[in-house]
Amino acid sequence: MDFSLSPALLELQQRTRRFIAEQVIPLERDPRQTPHGPSEALRRELVGRARAAGLLTPHASRELGGLGLTHVEKAVVFEEAGYSTLGPTALNIHAPDEGNIHLLEQVATDAQKERWLRPMVQGHTRSCFAMTEPAPGAGADPSMLATTAVRDGDDYVINGRKWFITGAEGAAFAIVMARMEDGSASMFLTDMDRPGIRIERLMDAMDSCFTGGHAVMGFENLRVPAADVLGELGKGFKYAQVRLAPARLTHCMRWLGQARRAHDEALAYARERQAFGKPLGEHEGVSFMLADNDMDLHTARLHIWHTAWLLDQGQKGNFESSRAKVVCSEAEWRVVDRCVQILGGQGVTGERIVARIFSDMRAFRIYDGPSEVHRYSMGRKIVAGRA
């Protein structure tokens, strides 16, 4: 593997870094941020700035107006975008849209791409991915999927309930996972204003970085035309992996930028703040934490780049993406936790961005599969000799 950046990628990295510093970070205290994420008005302003800078939706194909980045190239750009809490929103690489864009490019028909994908790539619309359900439905175990889809003439009638549906409030459309009559699962595309869809409430969560927050949704006799089935019937679980394997990795990329931001904040403070006759950073207890941060950041970056390289070589990477998800989510979390400790009182207040990063990042060890589920999946494959 060659870890050197090409001149073109190095230029894109630096251009993204300047854009985040000059155009995005100054908006981090904008009052249009809410407990359920940036408002739609703030999102549109950020997207407009990225569009003007030629950085909007860089992971999408060039045919759709993106930059057609490889997975390794995404690792570089997404880390830079993640340096700000608003960066992924600005570049239109936030969850769930980033993963949905990837899935639709792979699976959707040409008509579906024109209707739903192209406006999203252009930053005009948002989407949501409705899979997770309250008990006894599907959570970390997708085989427990309880939402149903029944054929009725030229339509499928969907009934069920979903929750933790990120970005549902204000989304233009949803990708809905439902169980078929034969026990298989399928995905359906639906405009959010169709009769039979309701947002019951927004869930209060630790994080506040996703436009639209996290919703509880109900589907009551929702009619979806057969033309709006995403991909082939019965392949919902397969398509979920098409979406989730790279999406786990892009989470790692974005949060690496956040962890690096927290480390930079703590390092600057450790150099300036005096205690017991010298800067904090000269005390062994603090310098050791900074050293551990450096090692965790480096470890996370290597896992991201290696897994991205495998995906670029055409390997499925499910085992490797699970490994990267666990290693990176836990390493990046340790970095941010140490930074709070180094900053002391300022680390637990709004005086510094680190407290916000701390609250936003904690969920990373849970969504797209808790660490324990990934360990369980990896362990089974290791024992079976399929790792």
User: Beta strand pairing status for 127-130 and 173-179?
Assistant: parallel
180 with 242, same domain: the answer is no
CA dihedral angle for residue 240, residue 244, residue 246, residue 251, rounded to 10 degrees: 160
* pLDDT number for residue 387: 85
Place of tokens 């499925």: 316
Residue 70 lies in a domain: yes
Long-range CB pairs of 10-16 (<8 Å, 24+ gap) are: 12/58, 12/67, 12/73, 12/76, 12/77, 13/76, 13/77, 13/80, 15/53, 15/55, 16/55, 16/77, 16/80, 16/81, 16/91
- Judge if 224 and 264 occupy the same domain: no
Residues 191 and 249 in one domain: no
Q: What is the pTM of this model?
A: 0.95
Residue 108 belongs to a domain: no
Give how many domains the chain has, as a whole number: 3
Give the pLDDT confidence score for residue 1 in this predicted structure: 66
**Statement to judge: residues 250 and 365 lie in one domain:** yes
CATH number of the domain encompassing residue 17: 1.10.540.10
- Do 248 and 374 lie in one domain? The reply is yes
Rounded Cα distance, 191 and 223, in Å? 11
The CATH number assigned to the domain holding 320 equals 1.20.140.10
* pLDDT by position in tens, the chain (length 387): 677 899 999 999 999 999 999 999 999 999 999 999 999 999 999 999 999 999 999 999 999 999 999 999 999 999 999 999 999 999 999 999 999 999 999 999 999 999 999 999 999 999 999 999 999 999 989 899 999 999 999 999 999 999 999 999 999 999 999 999 999 999 999 999 999 999 999 999 999 999 999 999 999 999 999 999 999 999 999 999 889 888 999 999 999 999 999 999 999 999 999 999 999 999 999 999 999 999 999 999 999 999 999 999 988 778 999 999 999 999 999 999 999 999 999 999 999 999 999 999 999 999 889 999 999 999 999 999 988
Q: Which residues span the domain enclosing 88?
A: 7-94
39, 71, 94 — which closes off a domain? 94
| 103 is a domain residue | no
Same domain membership, residue 169 and residue 264? no
Residue 119 lies in a domain: no
CATH code at 134?
2.40.110.10
Shared-domain flag, residues 155 and 69: no
- Same domain for 52 and 14, yes or no, is yes
Side-chain half-sphere of 56: how many Cα atoms within 13 Å? 21
Q: Identify whether 142 is preceded by a cis peptide bond (ω within 30 of 0).
A: no
For residue 5, give the DSSP letter: P
Residues 246, 224 share a domain: no
CA 99 to CA 349: how far, in whole Å? 32
Residue 302 lies in a domain: yes
Same domain membership, residue 131 and residue 77: no
Residues 360, 353: Cα–Cα separation, whole Å: 11
Q: 359 lies in a domain?
A: yes
